[in-house]
Amino acid sequence: MRLMALSDDKKKRKGLAASAITEVERIVSDQVPPNRQHEILEYLKLFGYKPDRTIIQVHIAGFFNKKRTATGREAEKRQATAKRYGGTTFVIVGRTHDPAIMDLVAKPKKKPEQTSPGYIGYLWKNKDPENRAPHEVIPLDFTPVHLSYPQDWKDMFATKGFMLAMHVPASFAKNKSRLTRALYRVGKTADVKKQWNFIDEIRGSGYEQMQQAEDPLSILKVRLAKGEITKEYYEKLRQTLAA
């Protein structure tokens, strides 16, 4: 009887915690514009986000990109892949403190010792039970990188926080640096609870034109047209960029 009472008490506490999170989510929803999901979509597009294909990783704050050192055949495989495809890089796009995201992610297939200790999973339309794109399930408290996360939200959620990151081609690195600097500038005055007008400001600064001009897929098409690469090699690279 004592064990049953303890089990019931644990379920009750879990239910109360879920109820509290739901209430905080309601408060956040009331404090942001009704089109916040669309704003998240437009913001992620600055990084090359594609709703149907992009995978967004979720890491516990403070653990992003802390991986064990690859050795032997694994290290050789990573080097060969980077050399073949021009390398890839992860870019942090923002953060959330809503713990509900832990129930939304698809769990990584790799063993814990093969991944970052803070990596909890990823958001991907193909793995979502309801076939939803990442921007459709990211919590509304999501705050773009370099914008201040509201202290009152942090106090209400009372979690360490979660970093959201996108996998992008290394050839995007220069543009991502420009974007990061632009976000750092707007982050000094932007209020995450208000309309994200800074998205239009960044686009108006010419960033989007520079991104399109240096789009690696466009470069590949030109190289294919010039006969510098084979169609088979083009397809392999194209699939990697789309991943």
Residue with the bigger pLDDT between 129 and 214: it is: 129
What distance in Å separates the CA atoms of residue 197 and residue 43, rounded to the nearest whole number? 10
- The string of pLDDT tens digits covering residues 109-167 is 766 545 667 899 999 999 999 999 999 999 999 999 999 999 999 999 999 999 999 87
**The two three-digit tokens of residue 207, written as one number:** 């960033």
- Residue 5 resides in a domain: no
> Are β-strands 143-144 and 88-96 bridged in parallel, bridged antiparallel, or unpaired?
antiparallel
Q: Where are the beta strands (DSSP E) in the chain?
A: 56-60, 88-96, 119-123, 143-144, 162-169
- Residue 238, beta-bridge partner list: none
- Residue 235 resides in a domain: yes
- Residue 144, beta-bridge partner list: 94
Q: What phi and psi, each to the nearest 5 degrees, are found at residue 35?
A: -100, 25
- Residue 11 resides in a domain: no
- Residue 114 resides in a domain: yes
Tell the burial category of 37 from Cβ atoms under 10 Å away from its Cβ (0-12, 13-18, 19+): middle
Stretch 187-204: mean pLDDT, rounded?
92
pLDDT of residue 84: 45
Amino acid at 104: L
- Residue 2 resides in a domain: no
Helix (H, G, I), strand (E, B) or coil at 56: strand
- Residue 14 resides in a domain: no
Is residue 83 left, alpha or beta, with left meaning phi > 0 and alpha meaning psi from -120 to 50? Answer: alpha
- Residue 43 resides in a domain: yes
Question: Which among 119, 135, 141 is positioned nearest to 58, based on CA atoms?
Answer: 119
Residue with the bigger pLDDT between 194 and 215: it is: 194
- The string of pLDDT tens digits covering residues 135-148 is 999 999 999 999 99
Are 120 and 58 in contact by the 8 Å Cβ rule? The answer is yes
* Total number of domains in the chain: 1
What distance in Å separates the CA atoms of residue 125 and residue 53, rounded to the nearest whole number? 7
Tally of CB atoms within 10 A around 57? 24
What sign has the CA pseudo-torsion 85, 86, 87, 92?
negative
Question: What's the gap between Cα 170 and its chain centre?
Answer: 16
Are 90 and 172 in contact by the 8 Å Cβ rule? The answer is no
Range of the domain at 179: 24-242
This prediction's pTM = 0.72
- Residue 58, beta-bridge partner list: 121, 164
- Residue 42 resides in a domain: yes
